[in-house]
Structure 1
């Protein structure tokens, strides 16, 4: 189940896969996929099943197919590091899609822009649209609401008997919303919400507001 929120009179739909659909722009926002990370682990001897590579692309297709989206905007760290075999899978995935694909570069995006140019994927350091600022790193810019990634936000939820449930989350403050990491094997940084913050925890099938 999705969660729908309104920011500056625009409608945003939070999806359990970890992306946000911006209705007015018909744009899907996704952060921190870290493609290539699984292949990097496997190359260095980690026992990560190869099917986990395909899961990232299947998840991307599922969320894109969930909305009538015209564009997919990756908010940085689309790839984890340098080129490996997952680039070939990414090329095939891009060629299978009809949406315009955009990259706001993150600190891990070190692959030459020439490779993206060949796929007709523009790269930006940031995007400003109306009162919204799309970046990879969290930014505080007067007059703008910031959508970003980089942090891989998570939340700890206490239960009966001192149990602790750890979940990825969308973390919203007054002028910013940090998206969860979309990719598998990315890890989380657990944040402590302050008064006025809104946290939307992500489970397999739901986005649940927990504060």
Structure 2
């Protein structure tokens, strides 16, 4: 879905990504690589396909938009070094022409050699474009730019005529800041409560729907 916001065209993708054509920048948040392996270490039978499928989705986005930059707006890695992080380092090699940027989140505590091996440029605490300030877990940047955050894995509850409901991830655009949905499918949702004039865009399996 294309929207016009703060004088720029933005593309909200149903794969839980934001594309800024003017900047040739693809932005995602809360990738949480290594989370499934982290739980397997604790004895929980979480399939490895969780991480594999997320990287497949990201590959398709990079191939579709052909961005110059991929911005991960925090929580790229979920835990200490494990096999899924090694898989990411190997996967990264096929996109060597794209600059990877990471705004550090609360889970991003890897050793510097891991980020170096992944060829990721660290931006801490924010990354700023001409119009927007990306920050992970605070919704106000120390600048006059409009803030775009992540961290809370925003969701919205939708009801049908039979009063049945479903929770869906969403993009939230408020007066002062926006919140990106979690890119990883292995996350929970925190329901957002929109105020008057806020915009909510629900992510369904087939398209983005404005609520």
For the superposition of Structure 1 and Structure 2, which TM-score range results when normalised by the shorter chain?
Answer: over 0.9
Paired position in structure 2 for 1:114? 113
Paired position in structure 1 for 2:132? 132
Could you report, residue by residue, the CA deviation over 1:103-154 in whole angstroms, capped at 9, with x for unpaired residues?
A: 0000000001232123331101111222311111132245211111101000
Once the two structures are TM-superposed, the CA of residue 184 in structure 1 deviates from its matched residue by 2.0
User: What SS class does the counterpart of residue 178 from structure 2 fall into?
Assistant: strand
Paired position in structure 2 for 1:72? 70
5 Å-filtered alignment, 1:33-52, equals 33-52=31-50
5 Å-filtered alignment, 1:105-184, equals 105-125=104-124, 126-141=126-141, 143-184=144-185
TM-score with structure 2 length normalisation? 0.94
Paired position in structure 2 for 1:102? 101
Displaced runs of 4 or more, over 6 A:
none
- Unmatched runs of 5 consecutive residues or more in structure 2: none
Once the two structures are TM-superposed, the CA of residue 187 in structure 1 deviates from its matched residue by 0.7
User: What SS class does the counterpart of residue 157 from structure 1 fall into?
Assistant: strand
Is 1:131–1:143's contact at 8 Å kept on the other side of the alignment?
no
Summarize the Cα distance change of 1:156–1:43 in structure 2 as closer, same or farther, 3 Å threshold. same
Paired position in structure 1 for 2:57? 59
- Unmatched runs of 5 consecutive residues or more in structure 1: none
Partner Cα separation in structure 1 for residue 190 and residue 112 of structure 2: 29
Residues 1:83 and 2:81 aligned together: yes
Partner Cα separation in structure 2 for residue 68 and residue 122 of structure 1: 19
TM-score with structure 1 length normalisation? 0.94
Partner Cα separation in structure 1 for residue 131 and residue 180 of structure 2: 18
Paired position in structure 1 for 2:209? 208
Partner Cα separation in structure 2 for residue 69 and residue 94 of structure 1: 14
Aligned residue-pair number? 208
Once the two structures are TM-superposed, the CA of residue 161 in structure 1 deviates from its matched residue by 2.4
